[in-house]
Structure 1
């Protein structure tokens, strides 16, 4: 893939990542815990009926300078236990409001560093979930793991809890890069770590990498990707580093150490893309790569790929997301609701039997339409007016009205070979995939007068 320099300069502008629509910085503090109870009850009558559970563990033994997540620096096991007890209580509170016939299709643990918890605490939470919920056949149960904190016993006990997908946050194999972003490398060689996970049946391994960090360049990132290919993960993610120092003050450290330019970041993306697609992986969505027989790849080829705050998923594992823990965002059909970010506030309110919603957003009917259009473009690089009519049970004219559609807004992308537009559909080209955030923003009426701040597209 060869991306011209003029397009890099033109489209390296702040735009949403569209992990939700509207994005999280549109959420309002006016959304109350009482409103959350209402939308939880409403969600029982909405689709998808499947339940996706997200568990947020905010704790980290050290903070990586690139981190944009809600984290809390601690190794205090007593503090962790207090948090776990509150999280279990929150699970029971939400479960009481959900239809008992609904089944779980996905459980995802994120953070923070989920595997910084002692394994006995994870067992305690998962056993409660297994007790309270039923599952669809073959649910996805996944954890974002820091490889520096995994060993054989920990892996074995996670598998016994039915975890079947391990996302290893390697970030880079280059020790200089890791040292400068304050991240520990794996204690166990990655080759051995992958072998330990794969010694169990029906387990999958993902690798997560970040490009755009200090001391990374095209050659060093190529070496990282080559090593990853030799380890043969089922999926691999190359995240573009999102520099938002106005949100995460620690990221200012990286300014002083020198961040690569947009051109150098693009070179890293291109070399990773080339190496992976030449060695048995297909590009999926914005930043994922998967083996041809992987379920994400099959969903993408069938144009049924979906996305939530936890990443890409198939229609089978897609569910309304019910989030537990500090800063967790529930992603329901008609609303988003985010828990308090402060762990002490979260624990205190939950222990009083109160939901701890800090902010949220209730979608109107037009916003659900916009969400569908943007999701299709972001996930499947394709949008069909006719198919949208069937899904949304409305007319093309109504859809166009909802998104304030103006074909002239897309003509720049068309003329640059990034997009094709017909009366039937909108299709993103292979070159256009790198600018899909910009394309999605052109279909978002909120972006016409947006005042919110976003990370740059590239």
Structure 2
């Protein structure tokens, strides 16, 4: 796949990343704890019956300069111990509000760096989840890990706790890049860590990389992908670095080294796409790759792929997301809700007997339809008006009228060979994958709000 330069220039504009709709910068601080607790109880009778649990561990021993996540830089084990105890307490607070008949289909530990915690402490939280909830068969239980803090014993303990997917944030193999972005260099080669993970039956591994960092070139990133392919992960992700120094001030430091141009980033995307395809991996959405036999690939083929803040998932593992821990975002049928901003206020409120939700958003019926449409575009590169209409008891004509949509909005994408459409279907081409965010923005009734800032699409 070759992306013409004129398309890069045309579509490299600020648009939401659409990990949620509306995006997180629409959340309102008038939405609080009482609103969330009421929404949790309401969620038992609306939306997906499955439960997806997100555990946020904010701790990192050092700050990676590219990071856009919610982190707390510390090596204070006493603070971490208090935090783990608070997580356990928060889970016990929310559990009685959830219908006992509902089952957990997904658990995701994110950060920060979850494996900054001693493995035994992770096991304590998993024990509570295992004892308090029933699980579907083959629930996905995943954890994000810094490979610099992994070894054979830690991996074995994660497997014993029931984890069946480890996602390692490699970012790049080259020490020059890792040093520039202040990322720890693993002492155990990634190849060996993957072998250790795969030695446990049923355990799979993701490798995550970032392109667009200082000292990366199209040639060096191609070498990175070649080495990654040799390692043979089950899934691989190539994230485009999002430069948002107005949100994350530490990113300003990267400007001193210089960042690859949009054109150079596109070359990285192109070469990775070609290399992964040639190696037999299937492109998933903007940035994921999976093996042909992977459940994610099968979901894409049947156009039933889904995603949430934790990433892509199948319909089987899809559930309403209940988040625990500082800054965790719950994604329920009708609302989004974000927990306390800082570790200090999180601990204070949990110790005081109640969780703290500092902001959130209540979706309108129209926004829920748009969320579903954007999910189809971003996940399945496809849209059927009749299929979506059937879900919301609307005819295709009614949907289009509600969204003030006309086919003329698609014509620029058709002219650039990014998609094709008829009266009922929109099918996005391989080239169109590169501008999925731009295509999704066509359906966004909030796009153009001058009070919202987003990273560029390239």
TM-score where L is the length of structure 2: 0.99
Equivalence for 2:263: 263
Equivalent in the alignment of 2:24: 24
For the Cα contact (< 8 Å) 1:304–1:314, is it kept in 2? Answer: yes
2:183 is aligned to 183
Deviation for aligned residue 1:403:
2.3
Matches within 5 A, 1:300-315: 300-315=300-315
What's 2:59 paired with?
A: 59
1:335–1:360 CA contact under 8 A, matched in 2: yes
Distance 1:402 1:69 in 2: 35
Contact 2:382 2:428 in 1 (8 A): yes
Instruction: Give the whole-Å Cα distance in 1 for the aligned partners of 2:73 and 2:270.
Output: 35
Q: Give the Å deviation of 1:397.
A: 2.3
Residues 396 and 424 in structure 2, CA contact (< 8 A), matched pair in contact too: no
| Cα deviation digits, residues 405-446 of structure 1 (max 9, x gap) | 122121111111111121011111110110010000111111
Determine if contact 1:414/1:420 at 8 Å carries over to the other structure: yes
C-alpha contact (below 8 Å) 1:338/1:360 kept by paired residues: yes
Q: Is the 8 A contact 2:53 2:106 kept in 1?
A: yes
Query: 1:58 & 1:29 partners in 2: Cα distance?
Result: 21
- Partner of 2:414 in structure 1? 414
The answer to whether 1:382 aligns with 2:396 is no
d(CA) in 2 for partners of 1:84 and 1:448? 41
Measured after TM superposition, the shift of residue 390 of structure 1 is 2.0
Residues 170 and 185, structure 1, Cα contact 8 Å, conserved in 2: no
Quote how far apart the aligned CAs of 1:450 are.
4.7
State the partner residue of 1:194. 194
Residue of structure 2 equivalent to 1:332: 332
CA distance in 1, matches of 2:267, 2:115: 33
Distance 1:345 1:2 in 2: 49
In the other structure, the counterpart of 1:456 is 456
**Cα deviation digits, residues 112-150 of structure 1 (max 9, x gap):** 000000111101111111111110001000000100001
Q: Secondary structure at the match of 2:337?
A: strand
Given that residues 370 and 402 in structure 1 are in contact (C-alpha distance below 8 angstroms), is that contact kept between their aligned partners in structure 2?
no
Q: Secondary structure at the match of 1:233?
A: coil
Alignment of structure 1 residues 232-247 onto 2, 5 Å: 232-247=232-247
Mapped pair 1:361 → 2:355? no
Matched residue, 1:79: 79
Q: 1:450 to 1:294 in 2, by over 3 A?
A: farther
Alignment of 1:308-323 (within 5 A): 308-323=308-323
Q: CA-to-partner distance for each residue in 1:359-417, whole Å, 9 max, x for gaps?
A: 00011111110101110011000000111122222221232133221221211111111
- Partner in structure 2 of residue 349 of structure 1: 349
Computed over aligned residues only, the root mean square deviation of the Cα atoms, in angstroms, reads 0.8
Q: For the residues of structure 2 that align with 1:116 and 1:202, how far apart are their CA atoms? A: 24
Deviation at 1:59, TM superposition (A): 0.1
Matches within 5 A, 1:81-96: 81-96=81-96
User: Does the 8 Å CA contact 1:306/1:379 hold for their aligned counterparts?
Assistant: yes
Give the structure 1 partner of residue 132 of structure 2.
132
User: What SS does the aligned partner of 2:446 have?
Assistant: helix
CA contact (8 A) 1:367 1:402 kept: no
How many Å apart are 1:448 and its aligned residue?
A: 4.0
Displacement of 1:449 in angstroms is 3.6
The one-character-per-residue Cα deviations of 1:299-351 (angstroms, maximum 9, x if unpaired) are: 00110000100000000000000000000000001000000121100110111
Count of paired positions? 458
1:10 aligns to 2:10 (yes or no): yes
Quick one: structure 1 residues 76 and 393, their matched pair in 2 at CA, closer, same or farther if it must change by over 3 Å? same
3-state SS, counterpart of residue 96 of structure 1: helix
Runs of 4 or more, structure 1, over 6 Å off, are none
Name the counterpart of 1:444.
Answer: 444
Separation in 2, partners of 1:191, 1:3: 32
Question: Is it true that 1:123 corresponds to 2:116 in the alignment?
Answer: no
Contact 1:369 1:402 in 2 (8 A): no
Q: Which residue of 1 aligns with 2:403?
A: 403
Q: 2:110 aligns to what SS in structure 1?
A: strand
Runs of 5+ in structure 2 lacking a partner? none
Pair 1:100-2:100 in alignment:
yes
> Alpha-carbon deviation of 1:194?
0.8
Partner residue of 1:426?
A: 426
Task: Provide the rounded CA distance (Å) in 2 between the counterparts of 1:433 and 1:441.
Answer: 14
The 2-side partners of 1:133 and 1:198 are apart by: 27
In 2, Cα distance between the equivalents of 1:394 and 1:80? 50
5+ residue gaps in structure 1? none
